[in-house]
Structure 1
């Protein structure tokens, strides 16, 4: 992730990216950027949460909820915090007010509340605003690379958790479309196990699903320069990460630290000690993977074999 570049304003370092706000990032990322910025300004002012609460005549829990994202922040409260922290540069104040307004909006994933796991909905919010997505999948093709027929079959073979099959396919399609519509789509790097492209998913239903799926992978890599796929060959033997898929998300201009998502665990913030382990695991898997060109050749060859 690129380091932050700062400009000096009224005794406070202000991120260069504060000159504008990328509306593509969505409310979850805007909220996280706002919370991170407020936390940084408070620490730079050498103030404790207890002092802030006492000075503003708030309850200590209110400051904790604001910085922790458990509650939104009103315009008057935000202005009071910024004044206390010595942040008076007009452009920066307006940026943070814009972030607060955006954070109160509803993302496209909100319509699925009560129908999908809250931890997954939170991940969708982060994914929508990521600038670099790194994902490892051992058993299946990553959802953002799945064709609809493949996604439908995979959804139909999941252990029954009460999630509607058609809903899973719908959300997968919406995720793909959302990233494609962004003004600056994220870069994406996928690590796949060779068996995920060789497994003849759907052979008892529609034998044509494979090879269409690996052919779609090859076409995506060839036509979209923001996407790279690396395949871990079976000849590599055992390798780090075989026990489960995970994703690492980075964000533009270093305004938000990298987060990790793993199904069943949820989104892990950068401060979580487990994040380093996932970073190291991804790099270790990457070392075992074929080069990009060889991976594309293998994917193309598998598609031809399945035909």
Structure 2
């Protein structure tokens, strides 16, 4: 019970601009909720104190709306949060949370259902991805990506297609950054390397690109190929992405489940643990990463 009465702290969450605004906003949102709970103040009472609605307090505490610095300061006063170090840290988080999201330069091309993943993946310590149909988006060549996107959106104008391709191309840059880059473990079905996307030349260059990326990002990128013999372990049927963050006490795991017409997100511990177990099982039965270069070289012979 003593742990339950311990005052919440945000001092363990670092100010890391490379993680993106969404991570800072989500960490601060959770902290404000814990501070209100610790102070024994109801959402309606907190809302009255800053002249807003209870729904707005809910959105603030789930990171679904921007923070006004004056509102946050007033809430901290109400919650009796007087530590100057904490107040300074929170002010830093408020400023960071107000910056443009990583997808905003491509706002016209970024699907709303993908934006939460785009916003949070820069803050990930580790990303596990399973793709049963295509090369994962982070690892696609420009020409491969254009064909895939155009096939999924045949009626979209060329400018929007180009925007979506540009957005997809920039996502891998987070693996190249100098400060705390994520580690990406991507598992693909073996049929991905046999499924023709465009001409044989497109496929050949895509597989060569994968080989080059593995050579370049020896520590940040790991690729496993799951053969048909994995059986039911590989029968997930849709792409899955599992994010684990550097500060799990502030940012819980996130799971992205891609659907043909949208996406589903899961961040409850029971859900994230279940998908973690599913992906761990798949990684355990897929070909080990040490065999991937040879398997890619073998796949190249199909497209020469």
Q: Under TM normalisation by the shorter chain, which class is it?
A: 0.7 to 0.9
Distance in structure 2 (CA, Å) of the matches to 1:194 and 1:240: 10
Q: 5+ unaligned residues in a row in structure 1: which ranges?
A: 1-7
Distance in structure 1 (CA, Å) of the matches to 2:161 and 2:203: 20
Structure 2 CA distance for partners of 1:43 and 1:240, relative to 1, 3 Å: farther
User: 1:67 matched to which residue of 2?
Assistant: 61
User: 2:254 matched to which residue of 1?
Assistant: 259
Asked if the contact 2:109/2:161 (under 8 Å) is kept, the reply is: no
User: 1:286 matched to which residue of 2?
Assistant: 283
Structure 2 CA distance for partners of 1:67 and 1:149, relative to 1, 3 Å: same
Structure 2 CA distance for partners of 1:64 and 1:57, relative to 1, 3 Å: same
User: 2:187 matched to which residue of 1?
Assistant: 191
Structure 2 CA distance for partners of 1:240 and 1:36, relative to 1, 3 Å: farther
Q: Does 123-132 or 51-60 show the bigger shift?
A: 51-60
Tell me the CA shift for residue 190 of structure 1.
Answer: 0.5
Tell me the CA shift for residue 114 of structure 1.
Answer: 4.2
Q: 5+ unaligned residues in a row in structure 2: which ranges?
A: none
Tell me the CA shift for residue 138 of structure 1.
Answer: 0.5
Residue 268 of structure 1 pairs with residue 265 of structure 2: yes
Aligned length: 294
Residue 234 of structure 1 pairs with residue 231 of structure 2: no
Deviations 1:172-196 (A, max 9, x none): 1121234434522111110110111
Q: More relative contact order in 1 or in 2 (CA 8 Å, sep 6+)?
A: 1
Structure 2 CA distance for partners of 1:150 and 1:76, relative to 1, 3 Å: same
Asked if the contact 1:202/1:209 (under 8 Å) is kept, the reply is: yes
TM score, norm. by length of structure 2: 0.85
Residue 123 of structure 1 pairs with residue 117 of structure 2: yes
Distance in structure 1 (CA, Å) of the matches to 2:265 and 2:117: 10
Tell me the CA shift for residue 171 of structure 1.
Answer: 1.0
Distance in structure 2 (CA, Å) of the matches to 1:70 and 1:222: 39
Structure 2 CA distance for partners of 1:229 and 1:68, relative to 1, 3 Å: same
The DSSP-based 3-state class of the residue aligned with 2:233 is coil
Distance in structure 2 (CA, Å) of the matches to 1:144 and 1:93: 37
Tell me the CA shift for residue 287 of structure 1.
Answer: 2.5
**In structure 2, which of residues 161, 165, 171 is the aligned counterpart of residue 165 of structure 1?**
161
Structure 2 CA distance for partners of 1:201 and 1:60, relative to 1, 3 Å: closer
User: 1:5 matched to which residue of 2?
Assistant: none
TM score, norm. by length of structure 1: 0.85
Q: CA RMSD in A?
A: 2.6
